[in-house]
């Protein structure tokens, strides 16, 4: 199962081995007690090359099939934040500032649908069997947040489509903002509870904190889109973006600095901040939080650039937070 299953039964192609080498280096680190670094990965690469020369194949200690999710998961979390956040910020502007003009509302709804469509496509692609996605909808297991999330995404997409028709034909369905906000909020946060169902991944066992974090990301992303489609909202949205970045940094600081209860959580935090993927994490913090705050406070005219950097930071930090816990050995 998983994206990497095929590599367990064939020779590893050099262009596809990075993730598997990282897994193997973790196993090596667990056996020897030495920290994981690039040299450990290079050592594993040499070992694989030697095995290939001997026409041998790893059997017992070959990488677990499908241990690492592919790039689709952090990508769909990112596109989902943009889609749901855009609708949320449009609704906020509608209720607190008298609504958007028709063209801006149309642009925002189209952007929401595009990124919601990308979210659904990435979710289906991640399953590796797109035809099986129909089982999720037609034969649901309601205790699974994958199923609940699929229905939330479908319901949200339907509401946004209706609002788009309302905008075009002037039907007067303003009441659609209310259920739309509910589904947008659920769409922004449900993945936190989906991750929480992976009980062996200790870092994901704080679903409320993770849900708040994902909602903050959605608000940040939505404020950036609003600055683009409705320049008149820029001052409002700059303030929302600024405080969203502050909240994002507080949540991350709490996660990496406060004491943790389990060894696996401590190991995950160590790998996030000091391990192989730490470069992505710290680049995400600097580019996605520190630089935008500096820009917003010193060069307000570059607020959209600050927003773009914040979006990059959201992706990078989510990529690391999703990838690293999967690399903790389960035995």
CA atoms of 159 and 177, how far apart (whole Å):
9
Confidence of residue 98 (pLDDT cuts 50, 70, 90): confident
Residue 113 lies in a domain: yes
Residue 63 lies in a domain: no
Checking if the pLDDT of 319 tops 80, the result is yes
Q: Are residues 126 and 213 in the same domain?
A: yes
The model's pLDDT over 190-227, given as tens digits with 9 standing for 90+, comes to: 999 999 998 888 999 999 999 999 999 999 999 999 99
Q: Are residues 169 and 46 in the same domain?
A: no
Provide the terminal-to-terminal Cα distance of the chain, rounded to the nearest Å.
19
Yes or no: say if 7 and 20 are a contact pair by the CB < 8 Å rule: yes
Output DSSP code: residue 55: T
Residue 62 lies in a domain: no
Checking if the pLDDT of 300 tops 70, the result is yes
Q: Are residues 12 and 131 in the same domain?
A: no
The model's pLDDT over 17-68, given as tens digits with 9 standing for 90+, comes to: 556 667 666 666 666 667 666 665 666 566 656 655 555 555 444 444 455 6
297-301's contacts with Cβ under 8 Å and 24+ in sequence apart are: 300/238
**Overall average pLDDT of the 227-231 stretch:** 96
Q: What is the chain's Cα-based Rg?
A: 22
Q: Are residues 292 and 170 in the same domain?
A: yes
Yes or no: say if 322 and 73 are a contact pair by the CB < 8 Å rule: yes
Confidence of residue 69 (pLDDT cuts 50, 70, 90): confident
DSSP codes, 173-228: -GGGHHHHHHHHHHHHHHHHHHHHT-TT-GGG--HHHHHHHHHHHHHHHHHHHHHH
pTM: 0.81
The model's pLDDT over 257-297, given as tens digits with 9 standing for 90+, comes to: 999 889 999 999 999 999 889 999 999 999 999 999 999 99
In this structure, what CATH number is given to the domain that contains residue 322?
1.20.1630.10
DSSP codes, 305-316: HHHHHHHHHHHH
List the domain range (segments joined by +) for residue 20.
5-53
DSSP codes, 68-103: S--THHHHHHHHHHHHHHHHHHHHHHHHHHS---HH
Residue 99 lies in a domain: yes
The encoded tokens of residue 280 equal 């992505």
């Amino acid at each position: 199962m998983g994206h990497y299953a095929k590599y367990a039964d064939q020779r590893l192609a050099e262009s596809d081995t990075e993730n598997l080498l990282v897994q193997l280096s973790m196993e090596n680190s667990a056996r020897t007690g030495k920290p994981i670094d690039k040299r450990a990965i290079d050592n594993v690469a040499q070992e694989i090359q030697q095995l290939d020369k001997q026409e041998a194949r790893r059997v017992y200690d070959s990488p677990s099939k499908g241990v690492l999710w592919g790039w689709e998961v952090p990508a769909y979390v990112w596109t989902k934040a943009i889609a749901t956040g855009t609708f949320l910020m449009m609704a906020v502007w509608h209720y607190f500032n008298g609504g958007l003009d028709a063209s801006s509302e149309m642009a925002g709804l189209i952007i929401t649908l595009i990124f919601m469509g990308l979210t659904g496509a990435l979710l289906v692609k991640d399953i590796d069997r797109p035809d099986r996605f129909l089982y999720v909808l037609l034969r649901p297991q309601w205790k699974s947040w994958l199923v609940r999330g699929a229905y939330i995404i479908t319901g949200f997409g339907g509401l946004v489509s209706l609002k788009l028709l309302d905008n075009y034909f002037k039907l007067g369905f303003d009441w659609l903002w209310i259920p739309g906000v509910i589904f947008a909020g659920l769409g922004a946060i449900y993945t936190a509870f989906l991750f929480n169902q992976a009980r062996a991944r200790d870092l994901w066992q704080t679903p409320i904190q993770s849900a708040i974090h994902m909602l903050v990301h959605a608000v940040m992303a939505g404020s950036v889109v609003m600055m683009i489609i409705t320049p008149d909202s820029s001052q409002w949205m700059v303030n929302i973006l600024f405080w969203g970045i502050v909240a994002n940094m507080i949540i991350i600081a709490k996660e990496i600095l406060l004491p943790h209860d389990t060894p696996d959580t401590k190991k995950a935090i160590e790998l996030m901040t000091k391990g192989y993927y730490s470069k992505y994490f710290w680049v995400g913090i600097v580019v996605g939080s520190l630089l935008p705050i500096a820009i917003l406070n010193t060069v307000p005219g570059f607020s959209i650039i600050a927003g773009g950097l914040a979006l990059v930071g959201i992706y990078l930090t989510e990529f690391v937070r999703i990838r690293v816990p999967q690399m903790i050995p389960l035995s």
